[in-house]
Amino acid sequence: GEILAHRVVLYARCDKLEALLRFEELQVDQSSRAAAAATALQEGELPRVRLEGISVEGVRALLYYLYCARLAPDLSTNTLMELVYFSDEYMLPELQTLASHALSHASLDMASVIDCIQLARLFDLAPLHNAASRYILTNLNAAEEEPGAQELLEELHVTKRGLLLDILTRRRGGFGFESGDHEVD
């Protein structure tokens, strides 16, 4: 779908979106010369930017953040995860912090928790990692019964002991270990 936004807001709040829009404006100016570009703009033809890898809900949540400097209410866990990922690509660290904080307090299921651990490791988000690890520790028996969750836990080398040591290390301000580094036979 197509979503409209004010260029001035995008310019002011996101350097990457500003660069993409200005590049698009240059393309319009170069291809149709100044007079034709002015005519096209008068006829309502505005520069467009295609955002890949994010849902319509994610774009709406992004725009809400850009306009209001806070998260939209009642975002789904999938949208929050998209924002964590997208905010890194578009250099919006405050959005990443807000979205990861909201995720760490959201009502999650085991599949979402595994995704949260992967996001936390990818972007070094200790609070999100700790919240997801606590969920797994609390629900480890349920995780073992859930189809597919055990395979994901094994793929991530997640063990109860490893999760506990990882949480303790992060709390003490040390470097986090990969959970698999703590396995004891």
Domains and CATH numbers, the chain: 1-99 (3.30.710.10), 108-185 (no CATH)
Q: What is the mean pLDDT of the chain?
A: 80
Please choose, from the candidates 66, 150, 61, the residue with its C-alpha nearest in 3D space to the C-alpha of residue 111: 150
Q: Which residue has the tokens 């992004």?
A: 62
User: Which range (7-21, 51-65, 136-150) has the least confidence?
Assistant: 136-150
The three-point CA angle 20-24-26 to 5° equals 120
pLDDT of residue 180: 44
- Provide the pLDDT confidence category of residue 5 given band limits of 50, 70 and 90: confident
- 3-class DSSP state for residue 132? helix
Whether the model pTM is above 0.75: no
User: What single DSSP character describes residue 146?
Assistant: S
Q: Is the distance from CB of 107 to CB of 131 less than 8 angstroms?
A: no
User: Mind listing the pLDDT tens digit for each residue in 30-55?
Assistant: 665 555 545 545 555 677 788 888 99
- The tokens for 93 are 């660290």
Over 90: is that where the pLDDT of 183 sits? Answer: no
Distances (CA, A) of 101 to 14, 36, 144, 154, 155: 21, 47, 27, 26, 25
Over 50: is that where the pLDDT of 178 sits? Answer: no
Q: How many Å apart are CA 82 and CA 60, to the nearest integer?
A: 12
Distances (CA, A) of 100 to 22, 74, 125, 140, 148: 30, 14, 7, 22, 24
pLDDT of residue 184: 32
